[in-house]
Structure 1
Amino acid sequence: MTAIGPTHRGVRLTAEPHVLRATLTSPDGLNSLSGAALDALGAALDRAEADPECRVLLLEGSGGTFCTGLDFEEAAGDPAGGASQAGRGGAEFLALMRRFGETPLAVVACVDGRAAGGGVGLAAAADLVIATERSEFSLPEALWGLVPCCVLPVLVRRTGFQPAYAMALSTQPVSARRAADFRLVDEVVPDPDAAVRRLLVRLTRLDPATIGELKQYFRAMWFTTEDTDAFALREFTRLIDSPVARRRITDYTTTRRLPWEKPRP
Protein backbone atom coordinates (compact mmCIF):
# COMPACT_ATOMS: atom_id res chain seq x y z
CA MET A 1 0.00 0.00 0.00
CA THR A 2 1.51 3.31 -1.10
CA ALA A 3 0.11 6.73 -0.25
CA ILE A 4 0.24 9.06 -3.25
CA GLY A 5 1.16 12.37 -1.69
CA PRO A 6 -0.78 14.15 1.08
CA THR A 7 -4.53 14.47 1.27
CA HIS A 8 -5.59 16.78 -1.56
CA ARG A 9 -8.89 18.66 -1.61
CA GLY A 10 -10.40 16.34 0.96
CA VAL A 11 -9.42 13.14 -0.89
CA ARG A 12 -6.46 10.90 0.00
CA LEU A 13 -5.17 8.50 -2.68
CA THR A 14 -3.50 5.20 -1.87
CA ALA A 15 -2.13 2.83 -4.50
CA GLU A 16 -2.41 -0.91 -3.91
CA PRO A 17 -1.87 -3.79 -6.34
CA HIS A 18 -4.59 -3.46 -8.98
CA VAL A 19 -6.49 -0.92 -6.82
CA LEU A 20 -6.51 2.84 -6.39
CA ARG A 21 -8.13 3.75 -3.07
CA ALA A 22 -9.75 7.21 -2.83
CA THR A 23 -10.61 8.15 0.76
CA LEU A 24 -12.84 11.13 1.53
CA THR A 25 -11.32 12.83 4.54
CA SER A 26 -12.56 16.39 5.04
CA PRO A 27 -11.29 18.36 8.05
CA ASP A 28 -14.81 18.75 9.50
CA GLY A 29 -15.44 15.00 9.32
CA LEU A 30 -18.56 15.35 7.15
CA ASN A 31 -16.79 14.20 3.97
CA SER A 32 -19.09 16.43 1.95
CA LEU A 33 -18.91 16.96 -1.80
CA SER A 34 -17.36 20.34 -2.40
CA GLY A 35 -16.33 21.33 -5.89
CA ALA A 36 -12.72 20.63 -4.91
CA ALA A 37 -13.59 17.13 -3.64
CA LEU A 38 -15.48 16.35 -6.87
CA ASP A 39 -12.49 17.54 -8.89
CA ALA A 40 -10.19 15.34 -6.80
CA LEU A 41 -12.41 12.28 -7.32
CA GLY A 42 -12.42 12.93 -11.06
CA ALA A 43 -8.63 13.21 -11.01
CA ALA A 44 -8.45 9.94 -9.06
CA LEU A 45 -10.47 8.23 -11.77
CA ASP A 46 -8.15 9.73 -14.41
CA ARG A 47 -5.16 8.33 -12.56
CA ALA A 48 -6.71 4.88 -12.16
CA GLU A 49 -7.64 4.71 -15.84
CA ALA A 50 -4.09 5.68 -16.84
CA ASP A 51 -2.61 2.74 -14.91
CA PRO A 52 -2.72 -0.41 -17.12
CA GLU A 53 -2.49 -2.62 -14.01
CA CYS A 54 -5.39 -0.99 -12.17
CA ARG A 55 -8.72 -2.80 -12.17
CA VAL A 56 -10.60 -1.15 -9.30
CA LEU A 57 -11.27 2.38 -8.07
CA LEU A 58 -12.19 1.97 -4.42
CA LEU A 59 -14.21 4.76 -2.76
CA GLU A 60 -14.40 5.05 1.00
CA GLY A 61 -14.91 7.57 3.76
CA SER A 62 -13.14 8.14 7.05
CA GLY A 63 -14.01 8.69 10.68
CA GLY A 64 -17.26 6.73 10.59
CA THR A 65 -18.68 8.71 7.67
CA PHE A 66 -18.73 7.67 4.03
CA CYS A 67 -20.07 10.91 2.53
CA THR A 68 -22.80 13.38 3.51
CA GLY A 69 -23.38 14.85 0.06
CA LEU A 70 -23.78 18.53 -0.73
CA ASP A 71 -21.32 20.92 0.90
CA PHE A 72 -23.74 23.42 2.45
CA GLU A 73 -21.04 25.99 3.19
CA GLU A 74 -20.19 26.11 -0.50
CA ALA A 75 -23.84 25.93 -1.60
CA ALA A 76 -24.78 28.90 0.60
CA GLY A 77 -22.00 30.93 -1.00
CA ASP A 78 -22.93 34.37 -2.27
CA PRO A 79 -26.73 34.82 -2.01
CA ALA A 80 -26.67 36.46 -5.44
CA GLY A 81 -24.85 33.58 -7.09
CA GLY A 82 -25.54 30.63 -4.87
CA ALA A 83 -27.88 28.82 -7.27
CA SER A 84 -25.45 29.00 -10.18
CA GLN A 85 -22.60 27.84 -7.94
CA ALA A 86 -24.68 24.95 -6.63
CA GLY A 87 -25.74 24.18 -10.21
CA ARG A 88 -22.09 23.84 -11.23
CA GLY A 89 -21.56 21.45 -8.33
CA GLY A 90 -24.61 19.46 -9.40
CA ALA A 91 -23.32 19.23 -12.96
CA GLU A 92 -19.93 17.99 -11.74
CA PHE A 93 -21.60 15.42 -9.49
CA LEU A 94 -23.76 14.09 -12.33
CA ALA A 95 -20.74 13.94 -14.64
CA LEU A 96 -18.76 11.96 -12.06
CA MET A 97 -21.57 9.43 -11.57
CA ARG A 98 -21.90 9.04 -15.33
CA ARG A 99 -18.16 8.38 -15.56
CA PHE A 100 -18.53 5.62 -12.96
CA GLY A 101 -20.91 3.93 -15.36
CA GLU A 102 -18.60 4.33 -18.35
CA THR A 103 -15.08 3.69 -17.04
CA PRO A 104 -13.47 0.35 -17.98
CA LEU A 105 -12.64 -0.10 -14.28
CA ALA A 106 -14.77 -1.62 -11.56
CA VAL A 107 -15.88 1.12 -9.14
CA VAL A 108 -16.39 -0.26 -5.64
CA ALA A 109 -17.87 1.76 -2.78
CA CYS A 110 -16.89 0.63 0.71
CA VAL A 111 -19.34 2.23 3.14
CA ASP A 112 -18.40 2.16 6.81
CA GLY A 113 -20.69 4.55 8.64
CA ARG A 114 -23.06 7.25 7.45
CA ALA A 115 -23.97 7.87 3.82
CA ALA A 116 -26.41 10.70 3.19
CA GLY A 117 -27.69 12.61 0.17
CA GLY A 118 -25.02 12.66 -2.51
CA GLY A 119 -23.12 10.02 -0.55
CA VAL A 120 -25.99 7.64 -1.31
CA GLY A 121 -25.65 8.73 -4.95
CA LEU A 122 -21.94 7.87 -5.02
CA ALA A 123 -22.70 4.43 -3.63
CA ALA A 124 -25.61 3.83 -6.00
CA ALA A 125 -23.50 4.88 -9.00
CA ALA A 126 -20.73 2.44 -8.06
CA ASP A 127 -20.66 -0.98 -9.66
CA LEU A 128 -20.50 -2.80 -6.35
CA VAL A 129 -21.28 -1.63 -2.81
CA ILE A 130 -19.83 -3.22 0.30
CA ALA A 131 -21.02 -2.01 3.70
CA THR A 132 -20.35 -2.72 7.36
CA GLU A 133 -23.08 -3.43 9.89
CA ARG A 134 -22.83 0.04 11.42
CA SER A 135 -23.51 1.76 8.10
CA GLU A 136 -26.73 3.59 7.32
CA PHE A 137 -28.11 5.38 4.28
CA SER A 138 -30.44 8.38 4.13
CA LEU A 139 -31.86 11.01 1.81
CA PRO A 140 -32.54 14.03 4.05
CA GLU A 141 -32.97 16.55 1.22
CA ALA A 142 -36.70 17.14 1.81
CA LEU A 143 -35.89 18.46 5.31
CA TRP A 144 -33.95 21.24 3.60
CA GLY A 145 -36.68 22.05 1.08
CA LEU A 146 -34.93 20.06 -1.64
CA VAL A 147 -35.47 16.89 -3.67
CA PRO A 148 -32.57 14.43 -4.29
CA CYS A 149 -32.88 15.10 -8.02
CA CYS A 150 -29.36 14.07 -9.00
CA VAL A 151 -29.31 10.95 -6.80
CA LEU A 152 -32.66 9.42 -7.71
CA PRO A 153 -31.93 8.25 -11.29
CA VAL A 154 -29.02 6.05 -10.18
CA LEU A 155 -30.77 5.02 -6.97
CA VAL A 156 -33.96 3.91 -8.77
CA ARG A 157 -31.78 1.93 -11.17
CA ARG A 158 -30.36 0.01 -8.22
CA THR A 159 -33.36 -0.36 -5.93
CA GLY A 160 -36.49 0.10 -8.03
CA PHE A 161 -39.07 2.83 -7.54
CA GLN A 162 -40.58 2.27 -4.09
CA PRO A 163 -37.44 1.94 -1.92
CA ALA A 164 -35.97 5.08 -3.48
CA TYR A 165 -39.27 6.96 -3.13
CA ALA A 166 -39.68 5.86 0.49
CA MET A 167 -36.16 6.99 1.37
CA ALA A 168 -36.74 10.40 -0.25
CA LEU A 169 -40.18 10.93 1.33
CA SER A 170 -39.53 9.61 4.85
CA THR A 171 -35.96 11.03 5.08
CA GLN A 172 -35.35 8.23 7.58
CA PRO A 173 -32.02 6.38 7.55
CA VAL A 174 -32.02 2.70 6.63
CA SER A 175 -29.60 0.14 7.99
CA ALA A 176 -27.03 -1.67 5.90
CA ARG A 177 -29.05 -4.89 6.18
CA ARG A 178 -32.23 -3.14 5.01
CA ALA A 179 -30.29 -1.48 2.17
CA ALA A 180 -29.04 -4.92 1.15
CA ASP A 181 -32.63 -6.20 1.10
CA PHE A 182 -33.49 -3.70 -1.64
CA ARG A 183 -30.13 -4.02 -3.42
CA LEU A 184 -28.52 -0.69 -2.63
CA VAL A 185 -25.83 -2.76 -0.89
CA ASP A 186 -24.38 -5.89 -2.49
CA GLU A 187 -22.74 -7.33 0.61
CA VAL A 188 -22.68 -6.54 4.35
CA VAL A 189 -19.35 -7.61 5.81
CA PRO A 190 -17.25 -7.15 8.95
CA ASP A 191 -14.10 -6.50 6.90
CA PRO A 192 -14.52 -4.49 3.66
CA ASP A 193 -10.87 -4.95 2.69
CA ALA A 194 -11.21 -8.74 2.78
CA ALA A 195 -14.32 -8.48 0.56
CA VAL A 196 -12.40 -6.34 -1.94
CA ARG A 197 -9.57 -8.86 -2.00
CA ARG A 198 -12.07 -11.60 -2.84
CA LEU A 199 -13.45 -9.48 -5.67
CA LEU A 200 -9.98 -8.91 -7.08
CA VAL A 201 -9.50 -12.64 -7.56
CA ARG A 202 -12.10 -12.38 -10.33
CA LEU A 203 -11.76 -8.77 -11.46
CA THR A 204 -8.05 -9.07 -12.22
CA ARG A 205 -8.91 -11.82 -14.70
CA LEU A 206 -11.10 -9.47 -16.74
CA ASP A 207 -9.81 -7.29 -19.53
CA PRO A 208 -10.75 -3.64 -18.92
CA ALA A 209 -12.23 -3.51 -22.42
CA THR A 210 -14.66 -6.25 -21.40
CA ILE A 211 -15.68 -4.33 -18.28
CA GLY A 212 -16.31 -1.29 -20.46
CA GLU A 213 -18.38 -3.31 -22.93
CA LEU A 214 -20.43 -4.80 -20.09
CA LYS A 215 -21.19 -1.37 -18.70
CA GLN A 216 -22.08 0.01 -22.11
CA TYR A 217 -24.49 -2.85 -22.75
CA PHE A 218 -26.30 -2.47 -19.43
CA ARG A 219 -26.40 1.31 -19.80
CA ALA A 220 -28.09 0.97 -23.20
CA MET A 221 -30.89 -1.05 -21.58
CA TRP A 222 -31.67 1.60 -18.94
CA PHE A 223 -33.79 4.73 -19.28
CA THR A 224 -31.29 7.30 -18.01
CA THR A 225 -29.70 9.45 -20.70
CA GLU A 226 -27.95 12.79 -20.92
CA ASP A 227 -31.46 14.29 -21.15
CA THR A 228 -32.25 12.71 -17.78
CA ASP A 229 -29.15 14.34 -16.30
CA ALA A 230 -30.12 17.70 -17.78
CA PHE A 231 -33.62 17.45 -16.28
CA ALA A 232 -32.20 16.46 -12.87
CA LEU A 233 -29.80 19.41 -12.93
CA ARG A 234 -32.52 21.91 -13.90
CA GLU A 235 -34.72 20.75 -11.03
CA PHE A 236 -31.86 20.74 -8.54
CA THR A 237 -30.82 24.27 -9.51
CA ARG A 238 -34.41 25.52 -9.33
CA LEU A 239 -35.07 23.98 -5.94
CA ILE A 240 -31.85 25.05 -4.29
CA ASP A 241 -32.70 28.65 -5.20
CA SER A 242 -36.20 28.39 -3.68
CA PRO A 243 -36.95 30.55 -0.61
CA VAL A 244 -37.41 27.52 1.67
CA ALA A 245 -34.13 25.86 0.71
CA ARG A 246 -32.11 29.08 0.73
CA ARG A 247 -33.43 30.02 4.19
CA ARG A 248 -32.79 26.59 5.69
CA ILE A 249 -29.31 26.23 4.24
CA THR A 250 -28.35 29.78 5.25
CA ASP A 251 -29.70 29.23 8.77
CA TYR A 252 -27.58 26.13 9.10
CA THR A 253 -24.37 27.68 7.80
CA THR A 254 -24.73 30.78 10.01
CA THR A 255 -26.22 29.33 13.22
CA ARG A 256 -25.74 25.55 12.84
CA ARG A 257 -29.48 25.22 13.43
CA LEU A 258 -30.95 22.19 11.73
CA PRO A 259 -34.24 22.68 9.85
CA TRP A 260 -36.35 20.94 12.51
CA GLU A 261 -34.83 22.84 15.42
CA LYS A 262 -36.57 25.87 16.88
CA PRO A 263 -34.70 29.19 16.87
CA ARG A 264 -32.56 29.57 19.96
CA PRO A 265 -33.69 32.27 22.42
Structure 2
Amino acid sequence: MNTAAYETIRVRMQGPVCFLQFNRPEAKNTINERLVYECRQVIDHCREQASILVLEGLPDVFCFGADFQELHEKKASGQSLDPSPEPLYDLWLDLATGPFITISHVRGKVNAGGVGFVATCDIVLADETAEFSLSELLFGLLPACVLPFLIRRIGFQKANYLTLMTQPVNVRQAVEWGLVDACDAESETLLRKHLMRLRYVPKRGIERYKRLMNSLQDGLHRAKPLALEANREVFADPRNQELIFRYIETGQFPWES
Protein backbone atom coordinates (compact mmCIF):
# COMPACT_ATOMS: atom_id res chain seq x y z
CA MET A 1 0.00 0.00 0.00
CA ASN A 2 1.39 3.39 -1.03
CA THR A 3 0.55 5.44 2.04
CA ALA A 4 1.61 8.69 0.33
CA ALA A 5 -0.88 8.36 -2.53
CA TYR A 6 -3.94 9.79 -0.77
CA GLU A 7 -5.46 13.26 -1.02
CA THR A 8 -7.97 13.28 1.84
CA ILE A 9 -6.42 10.95 4.41
CA ARG A 10 -3.07 10.08 5.92
CA VAL A 11 -2.18 6.45 6.50
CA ARG A 12 0.63 4.77 8.37
CA MET A 13 1.30 1.19 9.40
CA GLN A 14 2.90 0.14 12.68
CA GLY A 15 3.10 -3.63 12.71
CA PRO A 16 -0.45 -5.01 12.77
CA VAL A 17 -1.94 -1.53 13.41
CA CYS A 18 -3.14 0.75 10.62
CA PHE A 19 -3.66 4.42 11.48
CA LEU A 20 -6.08 6.24 9.17
CA GLN A 21 -6.31 9.98 9.74
CA PHE A 22 -8.94 12.17 8.05
CA ASN A 23 -6.97 15.08 6.62
CA ARG A 24 -9.12 17.78 5.04
CA PRO A 25 -8.33 20.73 7.34
CA GLU A 26 -9.58 23.23 4.77
CA ALA A 27 -13.02 21.59 4.90
CA LYS A 28 -13.34 20.62 8.58
CA ASN A 29 -12.70 17.00 7.64
CA THR A 30 -16.05 16.79 5.88
CA ILE A 31 -16.90 13.67 3.91
CA ASN A 32 -16.63 13.86 0.13
CA GLU A 33 -16.61 11.17 -2.54
CA ARG A 34 -12.82 11.05 -2.63
CA LEU A 35 -12.54 10.46 1.12
CA VAL A 36 -14.99 7.56 0.97
CA TYR A 37 -13.11 6.02 -1.96
CA GLU A 38 -9.72 6.34 -0.27
CA CYS A 39 -10.99 4.91 3.01
CA ARG A 40 -12.35 1.90 1.13
CA GLN A 41 -8.92 1.31 -0.40
CA VAL A 42 -7.32 1.28 3.05
CA ILE A 43 -9.94 -1.09 4.42
CA ASP A 44 -9.35 -3.51 1.55
CA HIS A 45 -5.68 -3.56 2.52
CA CYS A 46 -6.50 -4.03 6.21
CA ARG A 47 -8.56 -7.14 5.57
CA GLU A 48 -5.35 -9.07 4.96
CA GLN A 49 -2.62 -6.97 6.54
CA ALA A 50 -3.95 -5.43 9.77
CA SER A 51 -5.60 -6.66 12.94
CA ILE A 52 -6.35 -3.15 14.28
CA LEU A 53 -7.57 -0.06 12.41
CA VAL A 54 -7.43 3.30 14.21
CA LEU A 55 -9.48 6.23 12.88
CA GLU A 56 -8.25 9.70 13.81
CA GLY A 57 -9.07 13.27 12.88
CA LEU A 58 -7.37 16.57 13.54
CA PRO A 59 -6.86 18.06 17.03
CA ASP A 60 -9.87 20.38 16.71
CA VAL A 61 -12.21 18.36 14.52
CA PHE A 62 -12.61 14.62 14.02
CA CYS A 63 -15.12 14.72 11.15
CA PHE A 64 -17.89 17.20 10.41
CA GLY A 65 -20.26 15.26 8.18
CA ALA A 66 -21.23 15.72 4.54
CA ASP A 67 -19.32 18.15 2.36
CA PHE A 68 -22.02 20.69 1.43
CA GLN A 69 -19.45 22.62 -0.61
CA GLU A 70 -19.00 19.63 -2.93
CA LEU A 71 -22.79 19.47 -3.44
CA HIS A 72 -22.87 23.19 -4.18
CA GLU A 73 -20.08 22.90 -6.76
CA LYS A 74 -21.91 20.07 -8.50
CA LYS A 75 -25.08 22.14 -8.66
CA ALA A 76 -23.19 25.18 -9.98
CA SER A 77 -21.52 23.15 -12.73
CA GLY A 78 -24.80 21.61 -13.86
CA GLN A 79 -23.98 18.11 -12.68
CA SER A 80 -26.69 15.79 -11.42
CA LEU A 81 -27.23 16.37 -7.73
CA ASP A 82 -27.75 12.79 -6.65
CA PRO A 83 -25.35 12.07 -3.80
CA SER A 84 -25.52 8.31 -3.49
CA PRO A 85 -25.37 7.32 0.18
CA GLU A 86 -24.60 3.67 -0.57
CA PRO A 87 -20.76 3.91 -0.80
CA LEU A 88 -20.62 5.62 2.61
CA TYR A 89 -23.06 3.15 4.18
CA ASP A 90 -21.01 0.26 2.79
CA LEU A 91 -17.84 1.85 4.16
CA TRP A 92 -19.41 1.99 7.61
CA LEU A 93 -20.55 -1.61 7.25
CA ASP A 94 -16.97 -2.62 6.47
CA LEU A 95 -15.71 -0.80 9.55
CA ALA A 96 -18.38 -2.36 11.75
CA THR A 97 -18.10 -5.92 10.47
CA GLY A 98 -14.60 -6.26 8.98
CA PRO A 99 -12.02 -8.78 10.27
CA PHE A 100 -10.15 -6.25 12.40
CA ILE A 101 -10.65 -4.28 15.60
CA THR A 102 -11.74 -0.71 14.83
CA ILE A 103 -10.92 2.17 17.16
CA SER A 104 -12.03 5.79 16.88
CA HIS A 105 -9.61 8.21 18.55
CA VAL A 106 -11.69 11.37 18.87
CA ARG A 107 -10.58 14.92 19.56
CA GLY A 108 -12.63 18.04 18.92
CA LYS A 109 -15.91 18.28 17.06
CA VAL A 110 -17.83 15.36 15.61
CA ASN A 111 -20.97 16.12 13.64
CA ALA A 112 -23.47 14.29 11.43
CA GLY A 113 -21.63 11.69 9.35
CA GLY A 114 -18.68 12.00 11.69
CA VAL A 115 -20.88 10.43 14.35
CA GLY A 116 -21.45 7.62 11.86
CA PHE A 117 -17.73 6.88 11.73
CA VAL A 118 -17.57 6.86 15.53
CA ALA A 119 -20.63 4.66 15.97
CA THR A 120 -19.29 1.99 13.61
CA CYS A 121 -16.19 1.32 15.68
CA ASP A 122 -15.63 -1.45 18.22
CA ILE A 123 -13.89 0.91 20.65
CA VAL A 124 -14.16 4.70 20.99
CA LEU A 125 -11.53 6.70 22.88
CA ALA A 126 -11.66 10.48 23.30
CA ASP A 127 -10.03 13.45 24.96
CA GLU A 128 -11.85 16.12 26.95
CA THR A 129 -12.40 18.37 23.92
CA ALA A 130 -14.58 15.87 22.09
CA GLU A 131 -18.20 16.80 21.45
CA PHE A 132 -20.82 15.06 19.35
CA SER A 133 -23.83 16.38 17.43
CA LEU A 134 -26.36 15.49 14.75
CA SER A 135 -27.33 18.74 13.01
CA GLU A 136 -29.18 17.27 10.02
CA LEU A 137 -32.73 18.16 11.03
CA LEU A 138 -31.84 21.86 11.05
CA PHE A 139 -31.49 21.62 7.27
CA GLY A 140 -34.54 19.38 6.83
CA LEU A 141 -32.26 16.37 6.43
CA LEU A 142 -32.08 13.14 8.41
CA PRO A 143 -29.11 11.21 9.84
CA ALA A 144 -30.65 8.27 8.02
CA CYS A 145 -27.49 6.28 7.39
CA VAL A 146 -25.99 7.13 10.78
CA LEU A 147 -28.96 5.93 12.82
CA PRO A 148 -28.67 2.13 12.34
CA PHE A 149 -25.08 2.25 13.61
CA LEU A 150 -25.85 4.76 16.36
CA ILE A 151 -28.89 2.85 17.63
CA ARG A 152 -26.82 -0.33 17.75
CA ARG A 153 -24.26 1.46 19.91
CA ILE A 154 -26.29 3.64 22.31
CA GLY A 155 -29.91 2.51 21.94
CA PHE A 156 -33.02 3.91 20.27
CA GLN A 157 -34.04 6.66 22.69
CA LYS A 158 -30.60 8.23 23.15
CA ALA A 159 -30.14 8.26 19.36
CA ASN A 160 -33.61 9.77 19.05
CA TYR A 161 -32.78 12.51 21.58
CA LEU A 162 -29.48 13.37 19.93
CA THR A 163 -31.21 13.61 16.53
CA LEU A 164 -34.11 15.78 17.70
CA MET A 165 -32.11 18.20 19.85
CA THR A 166 -29.45 18.81 17.15
CA GLN A 167 -27.13 20.31 19.77
CA PRO A 168 -23.69 19.00 20.81
CA VAL A 169 -23.20 16.76 23.82
CA ASN A 170 -19.87 16.83 25.62
CA VAL A 171 -17.60 13.86 26.10
CA ARG A 172 -18.81 13.17 29.64
CA GLN A 173 -22.36 12.76 28.39
CA ALA A 174 -21.09 10.62 25.52
CA VAL A 175 -19.32 8.32 27.99
CA GLU A 176 -22.48 8.03 30.11
CA TRP A 177 -24.50 7.11 27.01
CA GLY A 178 -21.95 4.54 25.82
CA LEU A 179 -20.97 6.39 22.67
CA VAL A 180 -17.45 6.77 24.11
CA ASP A 181 -15.80 3.87 25.96
CA ALA A 182 -12.97 5.75 27.67
CA CYS A 183 -11.90 9.38 28.01
CA ASP A 184 -8.74 11.04 29.24
CA ALA A 185 -7.09 14.44 28.91
CA GLU A 186 -4.10 12.56 27.48
CA SER A 187 -5.94 10.56 24.85
CA GLU A 188 -2.73 9.64 23.02
CA THR A 189 -1.59 7.84 26.16
CA LEU A 190 -5.01 6.23 26.47
CA LEU A 191 -4.76 4.99 22.90
CA ARG A 192 -1.26 3.57 23.45
CA LYS A 193 -2.44 1.64 26.51
CA HIS A 194 -5.28 0.08 24.55
CA LEU A 195 -3.04 -0.81 21.61
CA MET A 196 -0.46 -2.43 23.91
CA ARG A 197 -3.16 -4.86 25.05
CA LEU A 198 -4.98 -5.35 21.76
CA ARG A 199 -1.80 -6.25 19.88
CA TYR A 200 -1.80 -9.59 21.71
CA VAL A 201 -5.11 -10.64 20.13
CA PRO A 202 -4.40 -12.85 17.07
CA LYS A 203 -6.02 -11.87 13.78
CA ARG A 204 -7.66 -15.29 13.40
CA GLY A 205 -9.34 -14.80 16.78
CA ILE A 206 -10.52 -11.33 15.77
CA GLU A 207 -11.97 -12.66 12.52
CA ARG A 208 -13.94 -15.38 14.31
CA TYR A 209 -15.14 -13.02 17.01
CA LYS A 210 -16.34 -10.38 14.54
CA ARG A 211 -18.08 -13.06 12.46
CA LEU A 212 -19.97 -14.22 15.56
CA MET A 213 -20.91 -10.68 16.58
CA ASN A 214 -22.13 -9.93 13.07
CA SER A 215 -24.40 -12.99 13.25
CA LEU A 216 -25.76 -11.97 16.65
CA GLN A 217 -26.53 -8.43 15.43
CA ASP A 218 -27.47 -8.39 11.76
CA GLY A 219 -29.68 -5.30 11.87
CA LEU A 220 -27.21 -3.13 9.95
CA HIS A 221 -27.79 -5.07 6.74
CA ARG A 222 -31.57 -5.16 7.19
CA ALA A 223 -31.69 -1.40 7.84
CA LYS A 224 -29.66 -0.51 4.76
CA PRO A 225 -32.44 -0.14 2.12
CA LEU A 226 -34.59 1.95 4.50
CA ALA A 227 -31.68 4.21 5.38
CA LEU A 228 -30.62 4.72 1.77
CA GLU A 229 -34.15 5.55 0.61
CA ALA A 230 -34.68 8.07 3.43
CA ASN A 231 -31.34 9.71 2.67
CA ARG A 232 -32.10 10.04 -1.04
CA GLU A 233 -35.53 11.51 -0.31
CA VAL A 234 -34.31 14.35 1.92
CA PHE A 235 -31.39 15.31 -0.33
CA ALA A 236 -33.71 15.40 -3.36
CA ASP A 237 -36.09 17.85 -1.65
CA PRO A 238 -35.70 21.26 -3.39
CA ARG A 239 -36.36 23.15 -0.15
CA ASN A 240 -33.59 21.28 1.65
CA GLN A 241 -31.24 21.96 -1.27
CA GLU A 242 -32.13 25.64 -1.04
CA LEU A 243 -31.22 25.73 2.66
CA ILE A 244 -27.91 23.96 2.03
CA PHE A 245 -26.91 26.22 -0.87
CA ARG A 246 -27.93 29.41 0.94
CA TYR A 247 -25.73 28.36 3.86
CA ILE A 248 -22.77 27.78 1.54
CA GLU A 249 -23.28 31.06 -0.36
CA THR A 250 -24.15 33.39 2.52
CA GLY A 251 -23.27 31.62 5.78
CA GLN A 252 -26.89 31.93 6.91
CA PHE A 253 -28.24 29.08 8.97
CA PRO A 254 -31.71 27.68 8.13
CA TRP A 255 -33.40 29.42 11.06
CA GLU A 256 -32.02 32.85 10.12
CA SER A 257 -34.22 35.07 7.97
| TM-score after normalising by structure 2 | 0.92
Any gaps of 5 or more consecutive residues in structure 1?
A: none
Deviations 1:202-244 (A, max 9, x none): 3222222221222222222225143311110011001111122
Matched, 1:68 2:64: yes
Aligned counterpart for 1:246 among listed residues 226, 241, 245: 241
What aligned pairs does 1:176-255 form with structure 2 within 5 A after superposition?
176-255=171-250
Dislocated runs of 4+, deviation >4 Å: none
For 2:7 and 2:231, the matched residues in 1 are separated by 24
DSSP 3-state at the match of 1:101: helix
Give the CA deviation at 1:186. 0.4
Indicate the larger mover: 151-160 or 36-45: 36-45
What aligned pairs does 1:125-164 form with structure 2 within 5 A after superposition?
125-164=120-159
What aligned pairs does 1:76-155 form with structure 2 within 5 A after superposition?
76=72, 77-78=74-75, 81-82=80-81, 84=82, 86-87=83-84, 90-155=85-150
- Matched letter for residue 19 of structure 1: V
Give the match for residue 53 of structure 2.
57
Q: In the alignment, is the contact (CA less than 8 A) between 2:148 and 2:220 conserved in 1?
A: no
Any gaps of 5 or more consecutive residues in structure 2?
A: none
For 1:248 and 1:206, the matched residues in 2 are separated by 48
Aligned residues: 253
- Matched letter for residue 63 of structure 2: C
Give the CA deviation at 1:72. 0.7
Q: In the alignment, is the contact (CA less than 8 A) between 1:11 and 1:26 conserved in 2?
A: yes
Aligned counterpart for 2:18 among listed residues 17, 20, 29: 20
Distance 1:223 1:101, change over 3 A: same
RMSD value, Cα: 1.8
- Matched letter for residue 22 of structure 2: L
DSSP 3-state at the match of 1:66: strand
For 1:117 and 1:159, the matched residues in 2 are separated by 15
Give the CA deviation at 1:198. 1.7
For 1:69 and 1:190, the matched residues in 2 are separated by 25
Give the CA deviation at 1:81. 1.8
Aligned counterpart for 2:34 among listed residues 36, 46, 51: 36
